[in-house]
Amino acid sequence: MSSNTLTILGSTGSIGCSTLAVVEQNPQYEIHSLSAHQNVDLLFKQCLKFKPRYAVVSDLKAAELMAKLLSESELETELLTGEESLLSVAADQGSSIVMAAIVGAAGLESTLAAVKAGKKVLLANKEPLVMTGNLLMEAVKTSGATLLPIDSEHNAIFQCLPHVEEGLSKSQTRFVDKLVLTASGGPFLTTDLDKFADITPEQACKHPKWSMGQKISVDSATMMNKGLEFIEACHLFGLAADRVEVVIHPQSIIHSMVHYRDGSVLAQMAAPDMRVPIANGLAWPERIESGANSLELVNEEPLQFYKADLQRFPCLQAGMEAAEQGGTAPAVLNAANEVAVAAFLAGDISFASIPLIIRAVGAKIPCEATPSLAIIRGVDAQARALANELILKDFC
């Protein structure tokens, strides 16, 4: 197997499409498998262009249409269907790199499968790490997988740490004082708080700097995204919550920073374009073209930095608290958030209700300090049921 064979879990999403854009510029990468949940029209187009060995459609109804499209074509791509197929392509010996780009907890099992199979795993899908934390990091060590962060902040930090052959390693943070995650602050950084109840899904999904999938766009608007990233940073870099900070930086040019013991601060800068961290992860430890515009600092507006306002963004506070609490707290937070965001996007609850639901669910589920994977799956289901119940009862 070549070291440049790539499987993309969630190839029809924002990260999936950006990954394929980087691959298009770098024909040394060969696509092994692509997956989509429902968007088979786009998946089929991607198959025509990249000719993967396997195409996975996890939604069984959508898979019927994909079967028809493939049978009417001359493609040799084999169709695999259902959630289980995601696990088999994630671990398939025919590919060496797995881009985890499914959104939410739906990517948990396939990300774990890729890690356990010892792949080079490009981790965009942050929710599985938020949910399972130490367990996933332990699985990386046991299998010898190489875990590379694609979330732009974590990729920035990774680039500012000393280079070690095996990717992430505890030794890299030996001289680190603290990590600073930058946050754009999203579309509602200066909106009057009394207007929060009237925010529509369309307004919430219009991010000032990044173009992303719907769920992460809403997470950016509530700043839950930064809360999840806070938890993600603690696990990836093996640091306690009191050594991670969040700073608002509306220009999204500095993607995060590492403060060293001697007073040096290293920052990574780039245009806000996910092709940059994706190309970094794909080629690491080498560098390839990403297709992103290079940064012209003289043309940029002045770079600003502010303290994050936790009153305005209670979801960020909830994320930071869950990081401190550890155990099952982040899994509960993540599940309640996924349900609340889906309900907001469906028009069932207001934007201002999202943090209320998350808080209410968190208060009702006791935190287990050292959970097994089975316990994490259990609290995930429990938190989802509780969040749905609260929404049905019109709790907010």
Point out which residues bind Mg ion (CB under 5 A): 151-153
Task: Give the start-end residues of each E strand in 72-164.
Answer: 78-81, 97-100, 120-123, 146-149
Q: Cis peptide leading into 285, omega within 30 of 0?
A: yes
String marking each residue 56-85 x if it binds ligand NAD according to CB under 6 A: --x---------------------------
Instruction: Mark residue 118 as left, alpha or beta (left: phi above 0; alpha: psi -120 to 50; beta: remaining).
Output: left
Q: Which of 212, 223, 270, 315 binds ligand NAD (CB under 6 A)?
A: 212
Residue of minimal Cβ distance to ligand NAD: 13
Does the protein bind ligand NAD through residue 151 (CB under 6 A)? yes
How many helical (H) and strand (E) elements, i.e. helices and strands, does the chain have?
16, 12
Taking the C-alpha atoms of residue 17 and residue 153, their distance in angstroms, rounded to an integer, is 20
Q: Quick one: which segment of 8-16, 44-52, 88-96, 184-192 binds ligand NAD (CB under 6 A)?
A: 8-16
**Which residues 265-284 are close enough to bind ligand NAD by CB under 6 A?**
274
Q: Counting contacts by CB under 6 A, is residue 103 touching ligand NAD? A: yes
- Residue nearer to ligand NAD on the CB measure, 63 or 216: 216
| Strands of the sheet with 78-81, listed across from one edge | 78-81, 54-57, 30-36, 5-9, 97-100, 120-123, 146-149
Q: Look-up: residue for tokens 């269907």? A: 81
Residue 106 as a binder of ligand NAD (CB under 6 A): the answer is: yes
Strands (E) across 83-183 are located at 97-100, 120-123, 146-149, 176-183
Residue 176 binding: pick among Mg ion, ligand NAD, none (C-beta 5-8 Å cut-off by kind): none
352 touches 359 (CB < 8 A): no
46 binds, among Mg ion, ligand NAD, none (CB under 5 to 8 A by kind): none
- Cβ of residue 296: shortest distance to ligand NAD, in angstroms? 22
Minimum distance from CB of 232 to ligand NAD (Å)?
Answer: 9
Sign of CA dihedral 88, 89, 93, 97: negative
Neighbours of 160 (CB within 10 A): 21
User: Which of residues 46 and 152 has its CB atom nearest to Mg ion in the complex?
Assistant: 152
213 binds ligand NAD, rule: CB under 6 A: yes
CB of 319 to ligand NAD, least distance (A): 13
Residue closer to Mg ion by CB (options 153, 273) is 153
Of these, 7, 19, 39, 172, which contacts ligand NAD (CB under 6 A)?
39
- Cβ neighbours of 295 (radius 10 Å): 15
- How many residues are there in the chain? 396
| Site for ligand NAD, residues 127 to 146, rule: CB under 6 A | 127
Minimum gap (Å) between residue 396 Cβ and Mg ion: 27
Q: Which stretch binds ligand NAD (CB under 6 A): 6-14, 60-68, 158-166, 369-377?
A: 6-14
Q: Which residues of 93-131 are buried (b: 16+ CB within 10 A; e: fewer)?
A: eebbbbbbbbbbbbbbbbbbbbbbbbbbbbbbbbbbbbb
Under 8 Å between Cβ of 65 and 40:
yes
Nearer to ligand NAD, 106 or 333 (CB): 106
The residues that touch ligand NAD, with contacts defined as CB under 6 A, are 10-16, 36-37, 39, 58, 101-103, 106, 124-127, 151, 210, 212-216, 274
